[in-house]
Each structure stands twice: as structure tokens, then as C-alpha cells.
Amino acid sequence: MLTRFAPSPTGYLHVGNIRTALICWLYTRSKNGKFFLRFDDTDIQRSDIKYIESIIEDLRWVGIDWDMQFKQSERFNLYDDVLLQLIKDGYIYECYETKEELEIKRKLQLKQGLPPTYDREALLLTKEKKSQYMQEGRKPHFRFMLNQDEPIKWNDEIKGKIDMKINSISDPVIKREDGNYTYMLPSVVDDIDFNITHIIRGEDHITNTAIQIQLIKALKAKIPVFAHLPLLHFADSKISKRVGGLDVKFIKESGIEPIALDSYLTKLGTSEQVESYIDMQALINSFGITKFSSASLQFNIDEVYKSNSKVLQKMPFEVVAERLSKEGIHSSEFWSFIRNNIGKFSDVIEWWHICQSDLECITTNLDCIPTNKELIQIASYTFPQDNFDQNTLQKWVNAIKQKTDIKTKELFRQLRLILTGKESGPELAKLLVFIGKENIITRLNKAVNAV
């Protein structure tokens, strides 16, 4: 089995691209097949090396690897040879209409209630007329002649049996007048040349698939297995517009773990609940292409955040030890405690600094301090001086409540503010242990002096 992911390096990847790449890759790896990365860079003017580099970086970030990588721009000689053969065999013909002339034809057809398909007028051109056009400076574009009487059928692995009539589809342009190839021919030639057995892509390619099947037949090659995924819609249209359909850069900067995104995308469109995996092999083992529905679906970034939190909760210390070490955190006990109270990895670093560093807001931001000066003073002189452990908080609370009638919930809130500068966070009893006795006393003294 051999699949490919074929992005055009004319822009950055968005979450829809990543989903297609991920499903292609998982399918291949679940079958012990090979996965190719092909850059469809036949659009010379718009393709850019910076996009190629970005695509590679993003694919590696989500955990995708590949067995071969190549660019279509390196294979133009092969496409030219195939084009000449198809012209010789009568499958491709040259046309000389300008864009303006084609647009006039299209408008007339629409006005007459006809489908705006190409009328094949170029097939009637004489050699003399073609020569005249050439002398006028016109350059030909080339079209593939569809067999419009032949319905195209295939068994789609996601959408089931597809039976398409193509009599309302124009003969597709294969090569433009500027000499650049369109998507059609190079894609088919590469799929044949590299023996691609399975093609997985978005449902917006269904018409392309019908055309390509006829191209494959014209080249007397084996037709691969197709699977067409429903396109992603965004639950929050404002987000999708703001970041261009949620590009990968936005997701990275949101603090989302790549495996959390993978976990969500792998189950999106199936009947299975999103399960938060922590390694790619588990995703491979759970994968099945027939689990995907053909129904439309929504991408919800909030669900990815939920998956992210669950992924972090499952991660053992060994998996994150190197990342923590770079931040000066070497405590497996702290990770085991804090991972159940975070939404993203950067939260770990923030809470470590809250525990271990001098809390700046205690001295510089009086808004961090409760306005109840009496409570702060009581909290300071009632802080237990004996054994310091997870039971210290309850002893402390009991001692404070003997001196004041403050409600327990409000007492906890204000103690947390004094010690962390935050109104919510991890379990305070355990958090005190990581802050440390001396640090707690220092913060209490600063709080007293601040008010």
C-alpha cells in the first residue's frame, strides 16, 4: 500500500490540510505501507520555498514522517513526454480562445439556460487558422477530451458507491497558454509513476477524481482506491476568518500539544468519542478508514483545548522530563501534582514560578492583596510553626476561624490570593508544600506590610 499527501506550496497549512495529511499517514502506517510527500509546485509564480519549509516543519510537529519527498517542478520533462503522447493518441487538443472569448461564451450559455461547458470549437480549427492565431501572437492552451457518454464509477472508501455523469463538465485545461501545467496531468502521472495505490483527499476533489479516472484509463494504468473526506466547517466563523481557517501557526501558539490535535482530528467525523492519546502508535492502532462518515462536520477549537488538558493529565513524567528540565524543573512529584490542574504546558512553568520565585505582585500590586487587613494579620500570626505537610492548611484554617467568623470559601480565596496572587488554582493543601514554609512566611510578612 502506498499513499501520498500533495500540498501546493503557495501558502501555509491549515487544520483541514493537517487532517487530510494525518488520515493519509495513519491509514498507511496502519497497513504497514509507505507514505510520500509530494509538493505540487507547478504554479511557478506562486510557489515559494518558504512554504515548503513551513509545510515540512508543521507536518513534523504533528508527528508525521514520510518515506519519500519530491517536487513536481523537478519532473516537467516527464509531463511533457506524456502530454505529447496523449496529443498523438487524440486525447488532448490545443485551443486558442482567449479568456475574454471564453467568458463571452460562458455568459451566452448561461443566458440560454445551458450548462457553461466548453463547446469544443477548437476541434474544428484548420491548420491555416491555427497558423493565423500563432502569427497574431496567440499561444495555445491544451484540454483533455472527456468521454462524456461514459459514466464514471468507483467505490469510495468513505462515501460508498459513486456514479457520476460528466456530460456537464468541460474538457479540463491540462496546460495553460503560459506553459504552466494545471493540477490534473502532473498529479495523474506521478500517481502512476510512483504506484500510488490509495488516494485520500477532501470531497471537493470528487469531480477531479472523475476526470482523473478517465486520464488514468487513457494512460492504460491501474485506477487507485479513492476516499473522499467531508470538508471541515468551523464552529466559530470569526476564528476561522481571523486566522484563515485556523492555520497551524495559530494552533501552535495556542499552546496545544500536537498529539492532542492528532487525537481530536483522528476521531472527528467518526462515531467514536475523542480519546486523548499520548503517542502516535496508539493512534495508528485505533485507526480505521471505514469509521469515517460522509456527513458534514464541524471543527471546534474548544474541543481541542479539552483534549489538550486530558493529554497532559495522562503524560508520565518521562515524556515531559526534558521539556521541564529546560525550564529548571526536575521534580516528578510536582509534575504528577500539577498536570491535573493545567490546560497547557506553559501553565506548569507559571505555577512552578509561583511556587519557587518571589511573588512580585505581593509587593508591587496591591490589587492582589485582600482588603481585609485584619484577616491578613490573623493569617500571619496563626500560621502553624510545627510539622509542615499537606495537613498544615487545615490546621491553619481552623486556627484562623477561631479568631474570625469569615466563611470558609472566602477564607480559602483570600489565602490563595496572598500566597499565589491568583483566585483559583491547584489544590491549596498540596500547593503549600511546593511553595515551602519559609516562602509562605515571607509572603505573609510582605502582605502584612503591603496593607
Pick the CATH number of 78-175 from 3.90.800.10, 3.40.50.2300, 3.40.50.300, 3.30.420.480: 3.90.800.10
Binding-site residue numbers for ATP are 241
Least confident of 213-227, 316-330, 414-428: 414-428
Q: Rounded to the nearest 5 degrees, what angle is found at the Cα of 257, between the Cα atoms of 255 and 262?
A: 135
Residue 129, pLDDT score: 94
Residue 371, pLDDT score: 56
pLDDT band at 400 (very low <50, low <70, confident <90, very high): very high
- The amino acid at residue 386 is D
CATH class name, domain 2-69+182-232:
alpha beta
Segment 47-62 shows an average pLDDT of 97
Q: Which residue reads 516528578 in cell numbers?
A: 332
Topology of the domain covering 235-314: Glutamyl-tRNA Synthetase; domain 2 (1.10.1160)
Q: Is the dihedral of CA 295, 300, 305, 306 positive or negative?
A: negative
pLDDT band at 364 (very low <50, low <70, confident <90, very high): very low
- The cell numbers describing 57, all together, are 516543519
pLDDT at 363 over 50: no
- The cell numbers describing 147, all together, are 468521454
- What is the Cα–Cα distance from 433 to 285, expressed in whole angstroms? 41
Q: Is 197 within 8 Å of 16 (Cβ atoms)?
A: no
pTM: 0.89
- What is the Cα–Cα distance from 315 to 324, expressed in whole angstroms? 13
Q: What is the pLDDT of residues 59-107, one digit of tens each?
A: 999 999 999 999 999 999 999 999 999 999 999 999 999 999 999 999 9
Topology of the domain covering 361-450: Arc Repressor Mutant, subunit A (1.10.10)
Kindly write down the DSSP assignment for every residue of 226-265, as one continuous string: EEEEPPEEES-HHHHHHTTTTBHHHHHHTT--HHHHHHHH
Distance set, CA 343 to CA 31, 174, 228, 247, 359 (Å): 34, 49, 34, 20, 22
Mean pLDDT of the chain: 91
235-314 matches 78-175 in CATH topology: no
Residue 201, pLDDT score: 95
Q: What is the pLDDT of residues 167-209, one digit of tens each?
A: 889 999 999 999 999 999 999 999 999 999 999 999 999 999 9
Distance set, CA 232 to CA 15, 111, 238, 361, 384 (Å): 9, 34, 15, 44, 57
- What is the Cα–Cα distance from 244 to 239, expressed in whole angstroms? 8
Q: Which residue reads 473526506 in cell numbers?
A: 229
Least confident of 76-90, 102-116, 347-361, 421-435: 347-361
More confidently predicted of 294 and 212: 212
H or E element in which residue 164 lies: strand 160-164
Kindly write down the DSSP assignment for every residue of 26-56, as one continuous string: HHHHHTT-EEEEEE----TTT--HHHHHHHH
Residue 360, pLDDT score: 60
- What is the Cα–Cα distance from 307 to 185, expressed in whole angstroms? 41
Binding-site residue numbers are 241
Q: Where are the domains of the chain?
A: 2-69+182-232, 78-175, 235-314, 317-356, 361-450
Neighbours of 104 (CB within 10 A): 12
